[in-house]
Structures are given as structure tokens and as C-alpha cells.
Amino acid sequence: MEQTLYEKVGGQEAIEKVVDYFYSELVLKDETVSHFFEHTDMGKQRRHQAKFISFALGGPNQYSGKSMAKAHANMNIQPKHFDAIAKHLHDALAHFNVEEPDIDQALSKVESLRNDIQYK
């Protein structure tokens, strides 16, 4: 039986490490997107993001947050912001030795949400 991408990357514990690196080392150090998180409870944000990414990678559906459109309402996220976040996710997954075809698969799921996130 073929492994899900969630299993291939190492499950919940590995995803939590990716999410921590994603925010700590990439997103929050990037002036083009860090301002979106100035008034955000980052502990809560990391937990939501780990659940969302786990689900997006074929893991258990633990995500119970707002819809993507509602979560990004009134943020006016532009293509450059979306692209920066997608690149940071790519780099975070690569940092933890996720193979490029698997990263591409994960990013295609993220890309499918572009219209729910941008210009809201």
C-alpha cells in the first residue's frame, strides 16, 4: 500500500518541526509577509497550520479552523505575498529533506487555495 505524503514526511511530529522552522526561520524574518502576523498568537497559529498541513498532505483531518476565505478576510493578500509563503513552505520542507516531487505535490495543494486567500 502506498504511503500518504503525510506518512512519507514523518507524520505529525515532523510536520510540527517543519511548521516551527517555517515561521521562526522564514516567514517571521521576511519583511514582505511578517507584518501579517504582528498581532497573531503564534502558538495558536502554529497549531492550526500544523493541522492544516497534515490534512493537506493526506493525514488525519484535524483542521477545524475557519475557511481559507474567512481566515484571510480583510488581509488583502497579494500574489507576491502568497508566492512568498509558498516559497517558504517549499524551503521549510526541503530543509527537512522532503524530496522535490513530494514538495511539488504539497505545493499543488496549497496552490489550489490561491483564489480563497488572495484579495480577501
Residues annotated in a binding site for heme? 48, 72
Three-class SS state of 75: coil
Reading the chain (120 residues) residue by residue, the pLDDT tens digits are 788 888 988 999 999 999 999 999 999 999 999 999 999 999 999 998 898 888 878 888 666 667 888 888 889 899 999 999 999 999 999 999 999 998 998 899 889 989 989 876
Residue 77 β-bridge partners: 118
Instruction: Map out the domains of the chain with their CATH numbers.
Output: 9-117 (1.10.490.10)
Q: pTM (2 decimals)? A: 0.89
pLDDT of residue 30: 98
The residue among 109, 84, 86, 92 whose CA lies nearest residue 17 is 92
Q: Is 89 exposed, middle or buried (0-12, 13-18, 19+ CB in 10 A)?
A: buried
CA distances from 93 to 7, 29, 69, 104 (A): 14, 17, 25, 10
Residues annotated in a binding site? 48, 72
